[in-house]
């Protein structure tokens, strides 16, 4: 065994020293693998960034109550009598109350609005969220970055930082037309890069009046005493109405939404990357067959000198793996440099624009790099078998 290892090391060294004779084709193999790694890493980082943006918006201690049996806010409808009944409950619901024993709750309504930049004919659909003032305190990790919160009953907007950076029209104090009326930007807020920063927040009554949604409530948010208290809340509200209610934690709501879209992104990314991997594998096969042909005389000589088949196979296969490792390293480094932190946007759960940053995380890089190594390992197997047969 020790002799076979020494023989393998000697032949591997000879293979690598002969690379300058095959510089162009070897480089093309590594770069083709790097391209496959970059494509896969790009899609995976998009899915990862989307998941992080939505999951960062959810809190396990905030419960969202939706009506109509749906998990989509824009499709939910809570009848006014149900909302009043919930807010008037004095029994133990497992939720926090203020000093007057009133529920700390926020009635909310999401309205898709078209926003046009000055000088542009086409607008972008964004989420205008009407909420009670308590809604601000129910958002964990949200801080005011400029200006002030919206005032109750006024047509004022609190704009997420990401929207404010991309749309100069959302400067503090600026007026912008949404629907049939003008709104004034009262401030900007930061939410750690989560999906909240892709929304416009305003007073619930002002939104209902501005978009003819009088009396409409889509969701009710309340703060739980603890994450486990959601079971108590479900039991307490099980007989409050014949309307099907969905009672879920904010974290689970956004996790479910992120999972569906992220899976769709991966569904497009993996087949494309695998299709490119087939082409890169063919390139690796061609490169290593050329390597074996270039070293036919050398292989025959060392075999005559007593080198075993294992050494011939392993040295050729190791060369292929090392070239693919170089390609994977190039691809991972380029992906991190080009994609990490790059801002993108897509249609979110409320059929509105959601902005997020691509995240080239450790698991993304590892998955993409393993695909690159697999291309070299598989593509180098047949040429390594051919090398065994050289005498």
Q: Note the pLDDT tens digit of each residue in 55-72.
A: 777 788 899 999 888 888
Q: Are 360 and 52 in contact (CB under 8 A)?
A: no
CA distance 344 to 139: 23
Quickly tell me which residue has 């409409």 as its tokens.
Answer: 216
Q: Return the CA Rg of the chain.
A: 30
- Angstrom CA distances, 196 to 204, 232, 347, 348, 368, stand at 17, 28, 14, 11, 30
Give the percent of the chain with pLDDT over 90.
Answer: 20
Report the pLDDT value the prediction gives residue 390, as an integer from 0 to 100.
54
Residue 332 has pLDDT above 90, yes or no: yes
- Mean pLDDT, residues 337-364: 81
CB-based burial, 267-280: b 16+ in 10 Å, e otherwise: eebbeebeebbeeb
CA distance 1 to 340: 45
Residue 83 in 3-state DSSP?
helix
**Count of Cβ atoms closer than 10 Å to residue 106 Cβ:** 25
pLDDT bucket at 235, cuts 50 / 70 / 90: confident
Q: What is the pTM of this model?
A: 0.77
Record the tokens describing residue 381, joined without a space.
Answer: 């197997």
Residue 187 in 3-state DSSP?
strand
Residue of 196, 249, 238 lying closest to 64 (CA atoms): 249
Quickly tell me which residue has 């970059």 as its tokens.
Answer: 38
Report the pLDDT value the prediction gives residue 120, as an integer from 0 to 100.
66
- Mean pLDDT, residues 227-236: 87
Strand partners, 311: none
pLDDT bucket at 237, cuts 50 / 70 / 90: confident
Residue positions counted in the chain: 391
Q: Are 64 and 253 in contact (CB under 8 A)?
A: yes
Report the pLDDT value the prediction gives residue 186, as an integer from 0 to 100.
94
CA distance 238 to 137: 27
Quickly tell me which residue has 């809570």 as its tokens.
Answer: 78
């Amino acid at each position: 065994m020790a002799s076979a290892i020494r023989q393998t090391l000697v032949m591997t060294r000879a293979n690598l020293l002969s690379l300058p004779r095959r510089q162009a084709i070897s480089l093309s193999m590594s770069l083709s693998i790097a391209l496959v790694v970059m494509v896969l890493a790009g899609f995976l980082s998009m899915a990862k960034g989307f998941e992080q943006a939505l999951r960062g918006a959810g809190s396990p201690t905030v419960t969202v109550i939706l009506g109509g049996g749906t998990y989509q806010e824009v499709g939910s409808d809570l009848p006014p009598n149900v909302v009043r009944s919930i807010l008037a409950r004095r029994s133990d619901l497992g939720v926090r109350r203020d000093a007057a024993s009133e529920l700390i709750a926020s009635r909310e309504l999401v309205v898709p609005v078209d926003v046009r930049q000055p000088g542009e004919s086409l607008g972008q659909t964004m989420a205008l969220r009407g909420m009670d003032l308590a809604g601000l305190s129910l958002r964990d990790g949200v801080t005011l970055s400029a200006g002030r919160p919206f005032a109750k009953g006024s047509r004022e907007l609190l704009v997420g930082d990401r929207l404010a950076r991309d749309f100069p029209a959302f400067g503090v104090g600026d007026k912008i037309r949404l629907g049939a009326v003008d709104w004034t930007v009262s401030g900007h807020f930061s939410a750690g890069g989560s999906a909240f920063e892709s929304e416009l927040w305003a007073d619930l009554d002002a939104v209902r009046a501005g978009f003819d949604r009088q009396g409409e409530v889509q969701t009710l948010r309340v703060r739980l005493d603890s994450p486990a208290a959601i079971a108590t809340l479900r039991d307490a509200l099980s007989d409050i109405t014949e309307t099907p209610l969905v009672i879920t934690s904010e974290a689970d709501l956004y996790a479910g939404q992120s999972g569906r879209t992220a899976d769709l992104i991966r569904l497009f990314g993996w087949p494309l990357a695998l299709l490119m991997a087939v082409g890169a594998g063919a390139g690796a096969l061609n490169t290593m067959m050329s390597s074996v042909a270039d070293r036919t005389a050398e292989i025959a000589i060392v075999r005559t000198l007593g080198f075993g088949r294992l050494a011939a196979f392993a040295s050729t296969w190791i060369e292929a793996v090392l070239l693919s490792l170089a390609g994977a390293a190039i691809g991972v480094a380029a992906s991190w440099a080009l994609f990490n932190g790059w801002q993108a946007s897509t249609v979110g759960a409320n059929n509105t624009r959601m902005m997020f940053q691509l995240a080239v995380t450790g698991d993304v890089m590892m998955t993409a790099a393993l695909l690159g190594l697999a291309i070299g390992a598989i593509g180098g197997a047949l040429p390594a078998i051919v090398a065994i047969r050289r005498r």
